[in-house]
A = this chain, B = another copy of it.
Amino acid sequence: MPTSNRRVSRRTLAPLAATAAVALAAPAIAQQSDTVRWRMVSSFPKSLDTLYGAIQTISRVVGELTEGKFVLQPFAAGEIVPPLQVLDAVSNGTVECGHSYSGYYIGKNPALVFDGSVPFGMTPRQHNAWLMYGDGRKLADEIYDSFNVVALPAGNTGGQMFGWFRKELKTPADFQGLKMRTAGFGGKVIAKLGAVPQQIPGGEIYSSLERGTIDACEWVGPYDDEKLGFHKVAKYYYTPGVMELEALLQLFVQKQAWNALPPRYQTALRMACHYAMTEMMAAYDAKNATAIARLVAAGTQLTVLPNDVVKALRGALEAVLDEEAAASPPFKKILENWRQFRADQHRWFSIADTRAEFAVYNSAR
């Protein structure tokens, strides 16, 4: 999952924060006239159109559902809130809502990883099943409550590639000393194998790879990665993306603002977010499929991770999860529920959908 760290100054932020506080203090008036105006920030820049596009879709759909009376004004990363402070800004009422990735905030509460993406975790469908028909929603809400926000699923990248490497990765020992740009929880996992994870802003990855400051990087997948030019400075593009079978994005909504909404505006926002989730996955699936062909034509060497590397990563992941659980009873509570659901889902998909897909793809040869 990408991070884009462009900063805004405290001065830029302050006056807008004051305006927001006024807006939040007057929900009764807004409700009487049926018109509600919110600011909606994003953790993503406009240049990453599939990620940033979610708030445009949400704003448009909510407008259509409310005859333009519930207005969500979109702001790109850094315009009024720094990209990695969206949860904070919503939590403290600087803005009413913001589109982001829970995995960015695991420094505040590691259990947020379960509603973002866990390496060797769930696919988008499995995650939805956990939220809608398992205990996922209840468990996630307990965490979001502590941040004073409501979280609405509002996007998913689908599976992400394992990453770009300047040299081939042949054995688990090759992680030793490897400087790899990656974000969040995945960094803890590769660190277990001796790698040195680096959290570098998106705009600086290319030059870091080119200069050799880092040896490898991961961002999202072909469509986004091609824009950032990684194929010009790293030859090997590794699959399978076992570290991120998905990345679920959220719209965080400040709880008081949410509670002050008329019920039909709440449903409108929830539905628009769900639609944005389906739309984003469709966009990535359509665009990645053609981008990968262009990358390969340009000389990128698609390479498959050796099995023992995958197994070493799996072992490291489970060890990291166990360590987090030992340090935090709330993490342990979610982990146990999540692991049971994951086991059932992985068993079922390895019998049915995933097996069928593989059989279909292979039958053409």
Write the nearest CB–CB distance from A138 to chain B, whole angstroms.
14
Contact A289 B363 (CB under 8 A): no
Contact B363 A221 (CB under 8 A): no
Partner of A271 from the list B65, B124, B134, B314 (CB cut-off 8 Å) is B65
| Residue among A123, A129, A283, A311 with max Cβ neighbours from chain B (10 Å) | A129
Write the nearest CB–CB distance from A215 to chain B, whole angstroms.
22
Q: Which label, helix, strand, loop or mixed, suits the secondary structure of the A interface? A: helix
Chain B hits for A245, CB < 8 A: 353, 356-357, 360
Contact B285 A345 (CB under 8 A): yes
Write the nearest CB–CB distance from A57 to chain B, whole angstroms.
11
Contact A361 B349 (CB under 8 A): yes
CB proximity to B under 8 Å, residues A271-303: 271-272, 274-275, 277-279, 281-283, 285-290, 292-293, 302
- How many copies of the chain does the oligomer comprise? 2
Cβ of A327 under 8 Å from chain B: no
Chain B hits for A22, CB < 8 A: none
Knowing A242-B363, A264-B67, A275-B274, the reply to whether A357 touches B123 (Cβ < 8 A) is: yes
Contact B271 A360 (CB under 8 A): no
Cβ of A66 under 8 Å from chain B: yes
Partner of A361 from the list B278, B350, B356 (CB cut-off 8 Å) is B350
Cβ of A128 under 8 Å from chain B: yes
Write the nearest CB–CB distance from A191 to chain B, whole angstroms.
19
Bound together, the chains give a CA A25 to CA B305 distance in angstroms of 64
Chain B hits for A190, CB < 8 A: none
Write the nearest CB–CB distance from A89 to chain B, whole angstroms.
27
Partner of A129 from the list B286, B311, B348 (CB cut-off 8 Å) is B286
Cβ of A355 under 8 Å from chain B: yes
Write the nearest CB–CB distance from A321 to chain B, whole angstroms.
13
Cβ of A18 under 8 Å from chain B: no
| Residue among A134, A268, A282, A347 with max Cβ neighbours from chain B (10 Å) | A282
Bound together, the chains give a CA A278 to CA B290 distance in angstroms of 26
Interface size class of A (residues with CB under 8 A): 35 or more
Bound together, the chains give a CA A159 to CA B123 distance in angstroms of 15
Cβ of A131 under 8 Å from chain B: yes
Q: What 1/0 mask marks residues of chain A from 311 to 339 whose CB sits below 8 Å from any chain B CB?
A: 10110000000000000000000000000
Knowing A134-B286, A289-B348, the reply to whether A123 touches B353 (Cβ < 8 A) is: yes
Write the nearest CB–CB distance from A116 to chain B, whole angstroms.
17
Contact A279 B132 (CB under 8 A): yes
Partner of A61 from the list B159, B267, B313, B360 (CB cut-off 8 Å) is B267
Partner of A348 from the list B288, B353, B360 (CB cut-off 8 Å) is B288
Residue of B with least CB distance to A121:
B360
Partner of A357 from the list B61, B314, B349 (CB cut-off 8 Å) is B349
Bound together, the chains give a CA A130 to CA B282 distance in angstroms of 8
Residue of B with least CB distance to A64:
B267
Q: A64-B263, A242-B359 are in contact. List 14 more A-B contacts (CB 8 A).
A: A65-B264, A125-B158, A129-B281, A131-B282, A158-B352, A159-B356, A240-B359, A241-B353, A245-B357, A290-B344, A292-B347, A305-B359, A346-B364, A349-B357
Query: Which A residues form the contact surface with B (CB < 8 A)?
Result: 61, 64-67, 120, 123-126, 128-134, 158-159, 161, 221, 239-242, 245, 263-264, 267-268, 271-272, 274-275, 277-279, 281-283, 285-290, 292-293, 302, 304-305, 310-311, 313-314, 344-361, 363-364
4 pairs of A and B residues whose beta carbons are closest in the complex = A133-B286, A240-B356, A289-B348, A159-B353
